[in-house]
Every structure is written in structure tokens, then in C-alpha cells.
Chain A
């Protein structure tokens, strides 16, 4: 199920289940690693977006059977770079959503600090 800004975030249940399982009791501890991940992901996604927008194309004057076989590889590479760009972009969005969740959890637990 994909995330939507309209859908309520099930904070209490998540915190409860996490605490019940003895994991990550402090939501504020989530933010540091997530921000670190985001700081790595954002420039990577930017560079992959540029690579996707400017795919490598072999010189047009290269002809022959080897050139034809190579162009199939080039198409596959272009496809993979696009997938990589989309995956990095998706990871950026997911990390931002996770940070938002962590921030809300931290807000809810503020009195305990």
C-alpha cells in the first residue's frame, strides 16, 4: 500500500508495537540515521536524474554488426539508469516520509523528555 498525505499515520500502534518488541524506544533516535541517509540519497538521486536525462549515445557514424549489438546493450543500459534514477527518487521520498513519521513520534513523546 502506498503512502498518501491524506492517510493518517498510525503513530500510536507503531510506537506501541515497537515498544512491545523492545525496539527503538526513542523515536528521536530515528531521525539522525534517516537524515544521514537522506543526505547521501539526495545528491545521488540528482546525479542519476541528470544521467537519465542525458543518456550516452554511441557515435552515429559507427556502423556494422558490432555497432548493432552494442546499441542493444546501450538500450539496456539506458533502461537500467532510468530504473536506478527512479529507485533513488523513490528512496528519497520514502526517507522523507519516514522522517516525517519520526518527527511526529518525537512530538508525541515530547513530555517524556
Chain B
């Protein structure tokens, strides 16, 4: 009798695409990797180039080891075989010659590795300088735009008042924006657009100051004096003004555990971890128990559920995005912490945070907070590059370089965590037109995670292995247990009361 297997249930992220097909990783580019470097120079290179440098290093070490082994044997024999017959003498000479030639090859391998790493460093410096110039140019343009903005503000006040009266922004306007974005995916799905966004958000405070008639540079000085800089300053300005127009009004959140189940294994690889990031119910917490050891937790935080700027029941909304980018405690962040408390996470328990999009922002904020014993962090498409992380975290921050959402956090400031970038759609690749911001969609990040799981460089492989080991160390022990807790959060005082 032949056995018929039922088809596997569809994976949650596939529901994003009408045809249900995952994105072909072949549409995108190579991985660009920035290994953790702390305060040292920032290195950016493709995974393949770093892997090549790793192989040169291995070759150099192997050849050096051969030189030592053969040199030791040859030297010992030289004393023992002095005056031996010519054939034996020749064997000795050939062996000594081999030592010299292998030593030369080892030197060449070492020199090639040095040159390659120097080239990588030079490229990285040039890229950083270009980015700095772009930011300076953006600030200058923002200053020049000030008078224009003043005019727009004068026009905008009555428009804003009218919009508030009508319950702005209107669904029709939002639908129009969505239609335009769908019709022109190539405009927003490019590294150039991403860099423009990155530069633009860094200049929001300068533009606002210019509109107020302040001299150039004063906004930065004042923001720094208040402890907010860059993107956070811009987001704080928005949050200060927008609630008056009915936008971005945050409030208390209510969290409830909606299910508890058991598993036997933890995720292995980036694709499996990303697949466990929830949607709908926004937080998933996995507790790992092994006999005689403190529990470990993996906290998965979901992406933005709604992009409406008007705060309603859903805490994973635009309000939480802007609040989070401003460095304030967003509803989604507070909800995740409430879920962690409910799950029994103690301050000393080791936690790995995994998040996608807004979930990545929340995960990064929690890992950086110092309130939890963060052991690992893995984020996808998170606008969190301006959050400084503690040293010693395993994991990586993954961004598609043609996804503008991470650029909303401005330039990458943290360099303690491995940074992995990849273009989701190489030039000429067909860009989907069924969803806005295709490079930010989950299936685009699944494609990138697939490439990460096949990465060759030690920089990436070591971090994937460390994240795998965080759960596998426990699940491989007899008597281990995995408990999965799903949480749903809503915003609102009434919800909180009961």
C-alpha cells in the first residue's frame, strides 16, 4: 500500500504573496558583510571576498605548519645522516629545498591575504567617506529648503486643520499613495533611494530649524544638548507636534497569552528563525529548559501590523514605529516586555531576541536596554542602526540594501553586531508589483536569510552557528523541554482594565 503524505501547511510569510511563491534568492545580489569591529575601522566586503581571505589565511597556516613539520624532520636527519651515501644526501637536499619552496609559498599566501584585507579596508574607507559627504550635502540642502518649508507650513496649517476635521489622512489619499508605490516599485526599490532616505531623515532636524529661521548647525547643537541626535531628534519633533493633529497618540497596552504548546527542537539557521517571527499575534516566546540549568528564552517580535498614523487598538503600528525611532518606549516595546514578564523571564536568564521590521527595532531596543541578559540578537529590516548595543552579543542585523525602512534610522552607528546587507533585487530583476516596498516584504528577507544560511565567510558562519547553539545546547540534552508561548497585544485603557 502506498503512503500518501499530506502537503505541508503553508508557511505564514507566504500569505503575503497572492501566488504563495517564495522569492527566488537568485534575483538578488551577493551578501555584503560588516564584521563586528567595535571602535576600530569599519570593514565592508562581500561574503565571498571575506571567505576568500579566510581561505588564504587557512592556506597560509597550513603551509606554515608543513614548513615546521618538514623542517623539523629534515633538521633532525641532517645531523643523523651526515656523510651518508650520495642518494641519501640528495634526498636530504631535496627535502631541504622543499622546505624552502613551501616556506616561500606560505609567504605568498600571507602576502596575498594582507593585500586583500588592505584592499577591503580601502574600499570600506572610501565608502564611509562618500556616505559622510552625502550626509553633509543633505544637511546643507535641508538648510537651503528652510524658506520653502516656511511657505509650506503657512499653507499647511489650514490644510492640517481641515484634515483633522475630516479625520485625516483620508483613506483615499493613502490608497492613492499605495497605488503609486505599487505602480513604480523600481523608484523605491533601489540603493540610491535608500541612501536618499537615509540622508533625508538625518536632515529633518536641520530642515525644521531652517524653517524656523535658525542658523545652520544650531539644531544639531541644541539637540545634542538635549541628549537627542540625528533621526531621534527628527522623530521627537514629529511626536511633539503630531498628536495635536490626532496622529501618533500612544497609550497603555494590554497583553494576553493566547496559546501555549510544546516543541522538541529549536530553530536551525536564519530561515528557520525568521519563519518563527509571528504575525497577527505579535510576540512569540520560546522557553528552553535543560535539567539543572537556568532556562533560556528566544523572544520573537513581529513586524508592523498597520501603517495608519492614527493610533488605534493595534500597538504594532506607525505610532510605535515613530516612537521607537525617537528612542522612546513605544507601545510595541512595552507590550513585548509585558509578555516577557508574563512568560517568567528573569533578569538573569539568557535571552536571544529575533525581530522583523518593527519587531527588529523592538528587539534591538530590548537587547540594548541592559534590563535583560541579552545573549543574542537577530533582526531583519529593522530601522535600528542608530541604537548602540553592548559588546559580546551574538547574531546579526540583516538589511536589504534596496529596502528603505532600515534607512529611516539614519546611518549605521552600532558596529558591535555583525551587519549583513544584500540587494533583494539586482538591476534588471523583475520587481513584484503586488505589494508596496517589495524589498521590505518578508519573502524578500527569507531569500536573504537563505543566502545567509549558505554563506561561506567565517564572519557570517560563526554568528549563525552561535545562534543555532543557543537553543541546540539545551535541546540536545536528555530531558530538555521547549515551551512555546504566543502573545497578543492591544492598545487601550479599557482593554487594560479588563
A: residues with CB less than 8 A from B are: 3, 9, 11, 14-15, 18, 21-24, 27, 29-30, 33-34, 36-37, 40-41, 44, 47-48, 51, 56, 58-59, 61-62, 66-67, 69-70, 73-74, 76-77, 80-81, 83-84, 87-88, 90-91, 93-95, 97-98, 100-102, 105
Closest-CB distance, B191 to chain A (whole angstroms): 16
Say whether B153 faces chain A, with CB atoms less than 8 Å apart: no
**10 A-B residue pairs with CB within 8 Å:** A18-B84, A24-B85, A58-B52, A58-B116, A70-B115, A87-B97, A90-B97, A94-B90, A97-B91, A100-B87
In this complex, the member of B66, B70, B105, B119 whose beta carbon has the largest number of chain A beta carbons within 10 angstroms is B105
Those of B53-107 within 8 Å (CB) of chain A: 55-56, 59, 62-63, 66, 69-70, 73-74, 76-77, 80-88, 90-91, 93-95, 97-98, 101-102, 104-105
Partner of B56, one of A48, A56, A69, A98: A56
Given A11-B85, A83-B105, 16 further pairs, Cβ under 8 A: A3-B90, A18-B85, A23-B84, A29-B80, A30-B81, A30-B88, A33-B77, A36-B73, A41-B70, A56-B59, A59-B48, A61-B46, A77-B105, A84-B98, A84-B102, A95-B94
Proximity string of chain B (7-40) to chain A, C-beta cutoff 8 Å, 1 when within and 0 when not:
0000000000000000000000010000000000
Contacts of B496 in A (CB 8 A): none
Are B83 and A69 in contact (CB-based, < 8 A)? no
Are A98 and B87 in contact (CB-based, < 8 A)? yes
Q: A18-B83, A73-B108, A80-B101 are in contact. Are A61 and B115 (CB under 8 A)?
A: no
Contacts of A56 in B (CB 8 A): 52, 55-56, 59
Distance in angstroms between the alpha carbons of A60 and B108 in the assembled complex:
21
Are B85 and A94 in contact (CB-based, < 8 A)? no
Say whether B49 faces chain A, with CB atoms less than 8 Å apart: yes
Contacts of B101 in A (CB 8 A): 80, 83-84, 87
Q: A87-B98, A88-B98 are in contact. Are A61 and B112 (CB under 8 A)?
A: no
Contacts of A36 in B (CB 8 A): 73, 76-77
Closest-CB distance, B91 to chain A (whole angstroms): 4
Closest-CB distance, B98 to chain A (whole angstroms): 4
Contacts of B374 in A (CB 8 A): none
Contacts of B102 in A (CB 8 A): 44, 48, 84, 87-88
Contacts of B97 in A (CB 8 A): 87, 90-91
B: residues with CB less than 8 A from A are: 30, 46, 48-49, 52, 55-56, 59, 62-63, 66, 69-70, 73-74, 76-77, 80-88, 90-91, 93-95, 97-98, 101-102, 104-105, 108-109, 111-112, 115-116, 119, 122-123
Are B73 and A37 in contact (CB-based, < 8 A)? yes
Contacts of A100 in B (CB 8 A): 87
In chain A, what residue has the closest Cβ to B71? A40
Are A73 and B62 in contact (CB-based, < 8 A)? no
Distance in angstroms between the alpha carbons of A29 and B69 in the assembled complex:
22
Are B119 and A91 in contact (CB-based, < 8 A)? no
Are A23 and B82 in contact (CB-based, < 8 A)? yes
Q: A18-B85, A58-B52, A62-B46 are in contact. Are A70 and B77 (CB under 8 A)?
A: no
Q: A59-B49, A87-B94, A87-B101 are in contact. Are A33 and B122 (CB under 8 A)?
A: no
Distance in angstroms between the alpha carbons of A37 and B91 in the assembled complex:
9
Contacts of B30 in A (CB 8 A): 59, 61
Partner of B69, one of A33, A44, A73: A44
Distance in angstroms between the alpha carbons of A88 and B122 in the assembled complex:
37
Are B87 and A101 in contact (CB-based, < 8 A)? yes
What are the nearest 8 A-B pairs in CB distance? A23-B83, A98-B91, A14-B85, A59-B48, A80-B105, A66-B119, A94-B94, A91-B94
Are A30 and B84 in contact (CB-based, < 8 A)? yes
In chain B, what residue has the closest Cβ to A27? B85
Distance in angstroms between the alpha carbons of A5 and B66 in the assembled complex:
30
Distance in angstroms between the alpha carbons of A98 and B59 in the assembled complex:
30
